Structure 1
Amino acid sequence: MELSKPFHRKKIVVIFLACILIFSGLSARVAYLMVFRAAHYSELALDLHQRERKIKAKRGRILDRNGIVLADNQPVCTISVIHNQIRDPNAVIALLCSKLGMSEETVRKRVEKVSSIEKIKSNVDLETGEEIYRTGLDGIKVDEDYKRYYPYENLASKVIGFTGGDNQGILALESRYEEVLSGQEGLILEMTDARGVRLLDEGESRVEPVDGKDLYISLDANIQLYAQQLAEQVCLEKEAESVSILVLRPDNGEILAMADVPEYQLNDPFTLPEGQQEQLMTEKEKQEALNKMWRNACINDTYEPGSAFKVITAAAALENGVVREEDSFQCPGYIVVEGRKIRCAKVRGHGTENFVQGTMNSCNPVFVTVGLRMGADTFYQSMKQFGLLNRTGIDVPGEAGTIMHAQDQIGPVELATISFGQSFQITPIQLAATVSSLINGGTRITPHLGLYCEKTDGSERISVQKETEQKRILSEETSARLRSILFQVVENGGGKNGKVEGYQVGGKTATSETLPRGTGRYISSFLGFAPADDPKVLALCIIRNPQGVYYGGLVAAPVVRELFENILPYLDEIGYYEKNETINRN
């Protein structure tokens, strides 16, 4: 049956309306894209034809408190290739192999890789980079860059740390203050055609990098150098495994020196010391050896402090009123606690002595008695109050925490051994910071290295230390009594080898046997401060496994004495603490 004309007319109308709707929708979409999304698609088009190359920012320097540069930058080059611009691949490969000392296989793989830009080698010296640039071969890019350089090589290596191939901080201060030092990278922007070939007539635009800020730290390069030399000397003489020397200001926690020998070469941090056969090591063994070489025992490792901890026991006992300087004690050479005989260093005993004499003699029975008088709860709360159970908060990554018995696990024997510095472990920085806080009038300090950062032109200076409320952990009276006792230890007691002519010095010796007991391995140490009545500088020397004589008073105290003999006049000379103020003398 033949369809009517009205039917065809309706069909045409429907199709026409559908076309109108489709056209209207497309028109609306085009209008939306052109008006409202124009910026977005313009950006996409620009990204398609724009190639960017990063410009490294100059890393901020690290300087000591006197402005001596400890970490600097050397200008170098980064060599890259752009695949679509290479006209003679074999010539490019031959040139790069010759100038960069790389294998043909490695270079060819990177040159032939289809990518917008491929890095061949970084940290290339300027002369080599200029030679490559002058050849004029298409597809090779020579970009400015910087490499970290340490002018004093191994000075304070475990404090400063180093950077990786991308100039990013890896260890210690370089890592901790990465945000301050790194700056912001710049960009070189080039226009290319659809094939990725640069349009020479379009030129290039640059977004200049923002240099990192310089970081000023509390180390004094002269004190650090001398401390490190002393540590190396005693390490060699005593055939010790390692030696650490810490020097800090007990009033505010600024670290003046932190030597932990053997140190490593900052300009070559991935090479192990002589005598270690790298070629015979697996990758895992080599990495473990490197980690050990980089490790800072002052911060990352704990140890039994031995008799140096008696300073803290004495402070807690005096503050809690369980002992007075004139209290009398009897030392027959040992003390028995729950059937366990704990010996004194003097086998024959010290006889009758008061508390000051007991401290001067470093008498174990005296401190065991004092510890038991306090009781576990009071002693534990004192350690908590002093800050011993927390980390110090030093601004270097990887600080270890105190290893201590749980409070409910401290029985009479544990309390007795804790009282004279055994059966628990702390870090050297924790011991130095806590004793500093006890002798400075009783205010807890936070040891730190960072002082402030500033722009390279000196236009802006910003402190890198957070302001914290000073917490009182000991009364001024007890702090003064403690200083007086520790002065007697050096003046007339077991620390007399730490005495410095012309200066009042307080301090405490220590000798502790390492775990497991009975192996004949000891840690010798001496902690000293000056002047005794108003401490301005504190030093801690730790000698690990010295051969021959190992008593702290005989091997560690002379090291601190020699250190003080040199740095105390130096601090006087430069007016270190206050203008025209000298360190108090006798």
Structure 2
Amino acid sequence: MSERRPSNPRSVSDGSPSSRLSFMLISFLAIALIWVGRLVYLQVIKADELSSAAAASRTVSADISPRRGTIYDRNGNVLATSVDATTVYANPKEVVDRASTANAIADVLGGEASDYRDLLDQDTTFVYLMRKADVDVADALREKGLSGVYFIADTKRVYPYGKVAGQVLGFVNVDGQGVSGLELYYDDILKGTPGRLVEQRGGKGIPIPGGTEVDEPAKDGQDIVISIDIDMQSYLEKRLAEGVEQIGGDDGGAVLMDASTGDLLAIASTPYFDPAAPSESEVGSDSLKPVTQGYEPGSIFKTVSMTALLEAGAVTPDTTVFAPAGLAADEYVISDAHERGDMTMTARYVMQDSSNVGISLLVEDHLGFGPLYDKIVAYGLKGATGVDYPGEAGGYLAPNVETWPQILKYNVTFGQGIATTPLQMTRFYGALINDGVAVTPHLLLSKPQTGEVMTYETETIIENKAAIAPMVSMLETVVEEGTGRGAAIEGYVVAGKTGTAEYVDEDTGQYAKHSYNLDFVGVLPNASTPLVCFVGVNEVPYERNTTEVFKDIMTEAISRYRVVQSD
């Protein structure tokens, strides 16, 4: 019997019909798996990313400005607010005749047609034509029915009192962000949160009817009430500007404060600033210089030195000192502003006649320069006041008294060789009529929406209260019989001190010759409203004083606030 051999199996590649079918099936399955994998990748793994990209390709979005909070003065007058405006934009891809459209836009919005043509020639679907345009102007452009030109409801900042309190308020940029002043300092409170407007676009960027929607609504900012009395502010600014011109100075500053509360009722510096037209205002005019610029205060600082002497119990108003006509210090000679001979004077007369030599020797003989330095620090004249305004400057005085040259020791006693700010000096003088207590100067009073009323720190800076009455008495003599006679107000007791300070010429680096910074600080003792007022005029080419400007500002305040004094 012969043996049967098994037949050889066919390979898949032998070309038979069944082999070809198997190959096609495997290939189909491989392709299907690739497609399935691709679908999973696109629809699951990349779904969110692709969806966002697709939406972005057919939408245009723009911010919706929130309505910024209103700033009110202490009497409820609107100082800064937001009003309706319209932002105008275009989709250049929809503009049919760019030349005529640019001309039509320029006719209504102003500006050059060529500038608008440049915008319309851009390869994009969104360009701003004008942000925050007046509503009536935008409506006039809307009536032209220009293809590709669109309008968004918006708001813009307005300042009803123009330049008045412009430095205090500051201004905002086109995006509604605070740039200076209180608009900057309290930006987080005022600004609110922007919303978002989304517009659906079809082919070639053409808007889809009904496809515009608010993706996220804007949240309006909060209102604030500040301490400024806008009518008092207006008067102070007017009188200060007149005084700078009459005295012949380069610029000036003034402060009016309630010493018992720290409320800044009015504060300004020249030149003034227009928050509605910042680009048209002088460079630096947006800065409130009584807060932001240090200076050598001159003889108003003698009150600081005398208060330190009185606190130490080292002198009384009747203490005498022999004051030569000139006092040698290193290679210099100190003299008084008014020529005189050698004489013996009382501490009261030192203040009354503003003697540089007298105050220098009183400090040297009865207190010492180290203890004076300590009191300057205790009175808060080296640090900032903490006022709620951006860019406050602090005082400066070199430490390590033992290393001071003799000329600096003497100079500091009468306000040279030391830097303070007008606001620091105002705070110190205010403590003299507030039982030795200094209150943080401030502008913010309250936030109406939340009902929050602000409170501020107080500090007892004159610890020996027995020093206050004789110090105020000497300042009254300055006004009644001394260098401050021009500050006297009929029917009222005024206490204050004049100042004439040298300043450094920026060109030479030396003290300017025959030109001075002049100032006066005065208070109303025992008054129903304990007002303190500073007035300074800088770079005056001869010796005068600012007492008349002080007198007029304080007289206006007395009338406005119905101030009375007790005996």
1:505 aligns with 2:498: no
1:196 aligns with 2:205: yes
1:446 aligns with 2:440: yes
1:486 aligns with 2:475: yes
Change in Cα spacing, 1:84 to 1:462, as seen in structure 2 (3 Å) is farther
Between 43-52 and 223-232, the greater mean CA deviation after superposition: 43-52
Return the letter of the residue paired with 1:385. A
Q: Equivalent residue for 1:285?
A: none
* Aligned with 2:80 (options 42, 60, 71): 71
* Aligned with 1:397 (options 370, 381, 390): 390
Q: Equivalent residue for 1:385?
A: 378
Q: Equivalent residue for 1:496?
A: 485
State the distance in 2 between where 1:15 and 1:481 align: 114
> What is the 5 A alignment of 1:41-120?
42-120=51-129
Return the letter of the residue paired with 1:118. V
Q: Summarize deviations over 1:287-341 as a string: whole Å, max 9, x none.
A: xxx3244343322322221110011111222223333333221223333345643
Deviation at 1:248, TM superposition (A): 0.9
Q: Could you tell me whether the CA contact under 8 Å between 1:97 and 1:103 is conserved in 2?
A: yes
Q: Equivalent residue for 2:193?
A: 184
Return the letter of the residue paired with 1:447. P
Q: Equivalent residue for 1:528?
A: 522
Change in Cα spacing, 1:35 to 1:526, as seen in structure 2 (3 Å) is same
State the distance in 1 between where 2:126 and 2:343 align: 81
Q: Equivalent residue for 2:247?
A: 238
Deviation at 1:421, TM superposition (A): 0.9
* Aligned with 1:220 (options 224, 229, 233): 229
State the distance in 2 between where 1:197 and 1:524 align: 67
Deviation at 1:372, TM superposition (A): 1.9
Deviation at 1:537, TM superposition (A): 0.9
State the distance in 2 between where 1:316 and 1:30 align: 85
Q: Equivalent residue for 1:472?
A: 460
Q: Could you tell me whether the CA contact under 8 Å between 1:505 and 1:532 is conserved in 2?
A: no
Between 556-565 and 194-203, the greater mean CA deviation after superposition: 194-203
Deviation at 1:44, TM superposition (A): 4.8
State the distance in 1 between where 2:215 and 2:467 align: 64
State the distance in 1 between where 2:442 and 2:134 align: 36
Change in Cα spacing, 1:398 to 1:108, as seen in structure 2 (3 Å) is same
Return the letter of the residue paired with 1:434. F
State the distance in 1 between where 2:494 and 2:27 align: 100
Q: Equivalent residue for 1:425?
A: 419
Q: Could you tell me whether the CA contact under 8 Å between 2:520 and 2:534 is conserved in 1?
A: yes
1:359 aligns with 2:351: yes
Larger Rg: 2
Return the letter of the residue paired with 1:470. T
Return the letter of the residue paired with 1:563. I
* % identity of equivalent residues: 25
1:311 aligns with 2:300: no
Q: Summarize deviations over 1:426-479 as a string: whole Å, max 9, x none.
A: 22122212332354223333222222233xxxx43345x5x5653332213333
Q: Equivalent residue for 1:152?
A: 161
State the distance in 2 between where 1:30 and 1:324 align: 96
1:252 aligns with 2:252: no
State the distance in 1 between where 2:27 and 2:456 align: 74
Deviation at 1:14, TM superposition (A): 13
With structure 1 as the length reference, what TM-score do the two structures score? 0.83
Return the letter of the residue paired with 2:343. G
Deviation at 1:26, TM superposition (A): 7.7
Return the letter of the residue paired with 1:391. A
State the distance in 1 between where 2:78 and 2:342 align: 52
With structure 2 as the length reference, what TM-score do the two structures score? 0.86
Q: Summarize deviations over 1:119-161 as a string: whole Å, max 9, x none.
A: 1122433222112212223211122223322222221222222
State the distance in 1 between where 2:316 and 2:264 align: 33
State the distance in 2 between where 1:201 and 1:450 align: 45
Change in Cα spacing, 1:376 to 1:5, as seen in structure 2 (3 Å) is farther
Deviation at 1:255, TM superposition (A): 0.9
Q: Could you tell me whether the CA contact under 8 Å between 2:239 and 2:549 is conserved in 1?
A: yes
Q: Could you tell me whether the CA contact under 8 Å between 1:510 and 1:551 is conserved in 2?
A: no
Q: Could you tell me whether the CA contact under 8 Å between 1:333 and 1:346 is conserved in 2?
A: no
Deviation at 1:425, TM superposition (A): 2.3
State the distance in 1 between where 2:412 and 2:556 align: 35
State the distance in 2 between where 1:422 and 1:357 align: 20
The alignment partner of 1:298 has SS state of: helix
Q: Could you tell me whether the CA contact under 8 Å between 1:315 and 1:482 is conserved in 2?
A: yes
Deviation at 1:356, TM superposition (A): 2.5
State the distance in 2 between where 1:53 and 1:132 align: 20
Deviation at 1:66, TM superposition (A): 0.6
Return the letter of the residue paired with 1:378. P
Return the letter of the residue paired with 1:561. K
Deviation at 1:343, TM superposition (A): 1.1
Q: Could you tell me whether the CA contact under 8 Å between 2:516 and 2:541 is conserved in 1?
A: no
Alignment: residue pair count: 548
Q: Summarize deviations over 1:376-416 as a string: whole Å, max 9, x none.
A: 32222222222211222222222233232232542332111
Change in Cα spacing, 1:369 to 1:534, as seen in structure 2 (3 Å) is farther
Deviation at 1:21, TM superposition (A): 9.8
State the distance in 1 between where 2:332 and 2:541 align: 30
Q: Could you tell me whether the CA contact under 8 Å between 1:490 and 1:506 is conserved in 2?
A: yes
Q: Summarize deviations over 1:328-378 as a string: whole Å, max 9, x none.
A: 212233333456431123432583333233222222222102332433322
Q: Could you tell me whether the CA contact under 8 Å between 1:372 and 1:412 is conserved in 2?
A: no
1:267 aligns with 2:272: no
State the distance in 1 between where 2:140 and 2:63 align: 21
Q: Equivalent residue for 1:577?
A: none
Deviation at 1:539, TM superposition (A): 0.3
Between 183-192 and 41-50, the greater mean CA deviation after superposition: 41-50
The alignment partner of 1:135 has SS state of: coil
Q: Equivalent residue for 1:282?
A: none
The alignment partner of 1:471 has SS state of: strand
Deviation at 1:564, TM superposition (A): 1.8
Change in Cα spacing, 1:439 to 1:349, as seen in structure 2 (3 Å) is farther
Q: Equivalent residue for 2:363?
A: 371
Change in Cα spacing, 1:561 to 1:532, as seen in structure 2 (3 Å) is farther
The alignment partner of 2:207 has SS state of: coil
Q: Could you tell me whether the CA contact under 8 Å between 1:76 and 1:124 is conserved in 2?
A: yes
Deviation at 1:201, TM superposition (A): 4.6
Deviation at 1:57, TM superposition (A): 2.0
**Pairwise CA RMSD:** 3.3
Return the letter of the residue paired with 2:415. G
Return the letter of the residue paired with 1:473. I
State the distance in 1 between where 2:348 and 2:397 align: 27
* Aligned with 1:165 (options 174, 186, 198): 174
Change in Cα spacing, 1:128 to 1:62, as seen in structure 2 (3 Å) is same
Q: Summarize deviations over 1:197-244 as a string: whole Å, max 9, x none.
A: 221154534643222222221111121111112112222322322222
Q: Could you tell me whether the CA contact under 8 Å between 2:480 and 2:488 is conserved in 1?
A: yes
